[in-house]
Structure 1
Amino acid sequence: MIVDHLKPPYYAVIFTTIMGDNTKGYAETSKRIEALAKQQDGYLGLEFARNEIGITVSYWQSLEAIQNWKNNIEHTEARTLGREQWYKQYQLRICKVEREYGFKK
């Protein structure tokens, strides 16, 4: 689903991953973390695509909201599992969205 109700300015956290061979527990943790993120102050939405390269984009009201999410204990535990078990590589980018436009039939 494309998040199309946001009004700039806001922030996007872009998390790009390449999975390793051991993905045990990944799907369950991913669903739990997504549900937890939705409960965080400042959370605005989420989009993702997962195939050869996984791309998850979450949207936030402020840099403070992003920092608070980063410091969430369960999220911290999931990041540790990602580095130790699931990911061959990942890259995280934080961007300020100042303008957007789209199309919908």
Structure 2
Amino acid sequence: MIGEVVVIGGLNLQDGVSIEEYERLGERMYEIVSGLPGFLSVKSFKADDGEELTVFRFASEEALEAWRTHPEHIEAMKRGHAEFYASGRLQICKVVREVGPFEHT
């Protein structure tokens, strides 16, 4: 959708982190973001080199801003940097053209 915002996160976990605690926090964040107006989807993938890629889709910049400034999300981001992530980056992209969806018939 034109105007849609896509956030691509590439994150590497620190050695020895509690995967259970990391997943628990991720589940809570999903509960919150999935209930926000304008949230479209999130998908995560783990690359062979261990990097975790997550793609969030929001209907607008305003929807992304509601997520970015949500109080529990702010605290989770701080905790992620302190306890879980060795490195990472986020890319915030605005859709300028979309082709599809395609269906094979």
- TM bucket normalised to smaller: 0.7 to 0.9
The TM-score normalised by the length of structure 2 is: 0.84
Moved over 3 A (4+): 100-105
Are 1:75 and 2:73 matched, yes or no?
yes
Identity of aligned residues (%): 25
Instruction: State the distance in 1 between where 2:15 and 2:52 align.
Output: 14
Within a 5 Å distance, the mapping from 1:40-59 to structure 2 comes to: 40-51=36-47, 52-59=50-57
Q: Which residue of 2 aligns with 1:4?
A: none
Are 1:8 and 2:2 matched, yes or no?
yes
Gap runs ≥5 in structure 2: none
What RMSD in Å do the two structures reach over aligned CA positions?
Answer: 1.6
Q: What code does the residue aligned with 1:35 have? A: E
For the 8 Å contact 1:10–1:62, the answer to whether it is kept is yes
Instruction: State the distance in 2 between where 1:104 and 1:85 align.
Output: 43
Per the TM alignment, residue 23 of structure 1 is displaced from its structure 2 partner at its CA by 2.4
Match of 1:18 among 12, 21, 26: 12
Q: Which residue of 1 aligns with 2:82?
A: 84
Q: Which residue of 2 aligns with 1:36?
A: 32
The TM-score normalised by the length of structure 1 is: 0.84
Gap runs ≥5 in structure 1: 1-6
Instruction: State the distance in 2 between where 1:100 and 1:19 align.
Output: 34
